[in-house]
Amino acid sequence: MRILIFGNSGSGKSTLAKALAARHGCAHLDMDTIVWEPGRIAEARPMDAVRADLDAFLAQHASWVVEGCYGDLVEHAAHACTELIFLHPGCEACLANNRRRPWEPHKYATPEQQDAMLESLQTWVRGYYERDDAWSYAAHRRLFDAHAGDKTEYTTLPSPD
């Protein structure tokens, strides 16, 4: 089992990925942990280092669940997945999920640091359907539609069964 999950921030990627990884005993990678400089909010690592870390993770694990919003990295890893999952429950659901999000210590040193970034995250989420960058709905739609392997699209968070 090699599952690649992508969608907007707040779409349920981490929730589904963690549940699937736990249920099936798979390794789990949240792409945020390789994209951003440790301990530095919104400071990206060099893309060649990120791709090398992603490739190493894929090679080291026979069974995995990888999740993220980074269209370029999803495209990079898609050849290795046995199933591609696209989550897009709509803007309002993503915004609500982000407001309920528990503290993510792998991203932020304190809950207060995370809370301080919420409004900028919400602004970014609101632009998902209008932007045309690697993290936009348009890019995600193109990736999903072009993928020739097994793929599933959800507009509500599925059960991890």
Task: List 83's β-bridge partners, or say none.
Answer: 3
The first and second tokens of residue 41, run together, are: 């909010």
The first and second tokens of residue 50, run together, are: 């990120």
Question: Would you state the CATH architecture of domain 2-154?
Answer: 3-Layer(aba) Sandwich (3.40)
Using alpha carbons only, how large is the chain's radius of gyration in Å? 15
Cβ distance 66 to 5 under 8 Å? yes
Higher pLDDT, 74 or 104: 74
User: If you write DSSP's letter for every residue of the chain in order, what string do you get?
Assistant: -EEEEEESTTSSHHHHHHHHHHHHT-EEEETHHHHBPTTSTT-BPPHHHHHHHHHHHHHH-SSEEEEES-HHHHHHHGGG-SEEEEE---HHHHHHHHHHPPP-TTT-SSHHHHHHHHHHHHHHHHTTTT--STTSHHHHHHHHHH--S-EEEESSPPP--
For residue range 34-54, what is the model confidence (pLDDT) as tens digits? 998 887 767 899 999 999 999
For residue range 104-130, what is the model confidence (pLDDT) as tens digits? 887 888 889 889 889 999 999 999 999
Higher pLDDT, 107 or 87: 87
Please tell me the predicted confidence (pLDDT) of residue 109: 82
- Does the pTM surpass 0.85? The reply is yes
Higher pLDDT, 156 or 11: 11
Please tell me the predicted confidence (pLDDT) of residue 160: 66
Over pLDDT 70: what percentage of the chain?
Answer: 98
Please tell me the predicted confidence (pLDDT) of residue 102: 87
Domain boundaries, the chain: 2-154
Cβ distance 57 to 64 under 8 Å? yes
